[in-house]
A and B are shown apart, each in its own frame.
Chain A
Amino acid sequence: MIEAHGLTKRFSGRAVVEDVSFSCAPGTITGFLGPNGAGKTTTLLMLCGLSAPDAGHGVVLGGPYRDLPNPARRVGILLDAAAQHGGRRGREALAVSAQAMGVEVARVDGLLELVGLDRAAARKRVRQYSLGMRQRLGIAHALLGAPEVLILDEPANGLDPEGMRWMRGLLRYFADQGGTVLLSSHLLREVEATADRLVIIGEGRIAAQGTRAELLTGASTLARAPDQAALEAALRAAGLAVRAATDGGLLVDAEPDAVGRAALEGGVALSHLGPSESAGLEQLFFDLTAGTPEAGQ
């Protein structure tokens, strides 16, 4: 269980996080989505007691994080995979934390195997790791204390497509066992494929939150045609609101059958017609976090 209550953070007068509230329930994966610099990391730092909020408070498992006696045994955290001592060997990095948590060292080898770091990799110094390997080491580190809550900041960064799929499976399994997962990402597709609930943040404020279906209610229809200009003219002639989808095609604020009829009347051949789904979510993400070019890559 994770709750953010009106979390606010100002750096030299400028609010980087403002009145951010959301909650994550056991058994679910919450995707914390926003462009780079939207305030995701700052929010997670406040939840983990590493940064003091200027207003509001975070709750992890019923109280402030810093009140947990041995936090790592209940909350697994990966804030930055690069934040490991480069001169320490991979296995030692886990072993020293295991000792601090009071976890038997046997878990270290089990987790190295789980995240796919073999013996040779475990013996290497972290400096020699690729970002993907550091990310895997960080995930093993987060799981070391057998926690019930996971807080992961951009865990997919640096993972290859196979690695991303592997991590999705891992998080799904963790949540299905009753675990609570909060993961941040600036990649819409990544979060969309993983999360049950989305919390979208832009410029420090919550722009929208809910399940995918909730966010898409009243969503639009995606239509494509070989002659897109003709289609757009036909739809406008029928009095429908039209805008260009980010990856080609047109988004129309109407049901598919109305769009199909308008196309027929205009004499335009369609190559695609259907509810917009992810195109709609992507549009939503763009609208909500407008002005940040790297959004939704």
Chain B
Amino acid sequence: MSTAILQAPGRGGEPDRRPGLARLTQIELRKMTDTRSGFWLQFTVIGLTVALVVLVCAFGTDEDRTLRSLFSASVAPASFLLPVVGVLLVTSEWTQRTTLITFTLVPHRSRVVAAKLLAGVALSLAALVICLVLAVIGTAVSGSGAEDAWALPAELLGQTVVYLATGMAIGIGFGAVLLASAPAIVLYFLLPILWSGLGAIPALEDAARWLDPSRSLSVMTDHVMSATEWARAGTTLALWMVLPVLVGLWRIRRSELR
């Protein structure tokens, strides 16, 4: 038995330094892609995005093949599936019981949750870059005859990042509240639909404008938003993102592991 490794504590730096949030975020990003399910989920997002851009380029009209409209189309798979990545980022720790490892490496659980949220933002940025690159390629290749083929307001880019990142944070929040994959994913997709149904009742019409994600958030990828629209989006996010994240954080911090 080569026991030298037991004697040689490979202590490069100071062993007692607390791992920083940047390193914890890298770890969470790594954990999103180094499992079989994580890899295929990311692969699917990219595959669908490529397919969508190719389809629009092949069959779309000149107006569809502008950078703005291609970009808007290319974001769809990511905005649909990244929240699922967010849910699994939290719940897989419970279903696979890796919490026993994660929380012994980092006993302060809120730091792990913070790292997961930051990793979600980083992944959203990466998704945005990929979508933008694909949209640019699509626009160049398809050679749209439209006058404003290359127009893309910078605000729309920013709004799209916010849209993707908050979507992912909503997924993380749902995962954290429920700590179980299937219920979290089902409720993530089902609750907004039920909510929209309620919003169709005339008496609730006003509230829906402020609290229904399908109205107040989806405009982010559509056009440059007004101040009122931002206020509505903010209100909606307080209900759908901030509240679940806070409740989930509370639950994770006090959950008993076994």
Contacts and interface: CB of A to CB of B under 8 A. Distances in A.
Interface stretch (A85-93, A182-190, A192-200): A85-93
Interface in A98-143: 99-104, 106-107, 110-111, 113-114, 125, 141, 143
A96 to B, nearest CB: 6
Contacts of B26: 99
Contact of B100 (A80, A99, A113): A80
A74 interface: yes
Given A69-B16, A102-B12, A166-B1, A96 B30 contact: yes
Contacts of B107: 49, 65-66, 68, 71
Nearest to A103: B10
B19 A101 contact: yes
Interface in B4-21: 5-13, 15-19
Interface string A157-183: 000000000100110011001000000
Contact of B11 (A71, A97, A146): A146
B97 interface: yes
Contacts of A273: none
A102 B23 contact: yes
B12 A99 contact: no
A246 interface: no
A45 interface: yes
B3 interface: yes
B152 interface: no
Most chain A beta carbons < 10 A, residue from B1, B99, B100, B256? B100
Contacts of B247: none
Interface of B: 1-3, 5-13, 15-19, 23-24, 26-27, 30-31, 34-38, 92, 96-101, 103-108, 254, 256-258
11 contacts: A50-B256, A51-B258, A70-B19, A73-B11, A85-B96, A99-B23, A100-B23, A111-B5, A114-B2, A125-B36, A146-B6
Interface of A: 41-42, 45, 48-52, 65-66, 68-75, 77, 79-80, 82-89, 92, 96-97, 99-104, 106-107, 110-111, 113-114, 125, 141, 143, 145-146, 166, 169-170, 173-174, 177
Across the A-B interface, the 5 shortest Cβ-Cβ residue pairs: A146-B9, A66-B107, A87-B35, A83-B97, A87-B36
Given A87-B35, A146-B11, 13 more contacts: A50-B257, A65-B107, A70-B17, A71-B105, A83-B97, A84-B98, A87-B36, A100-B19, A101-B19, A102-B15, A104-B12, A146-B9, A169-B1
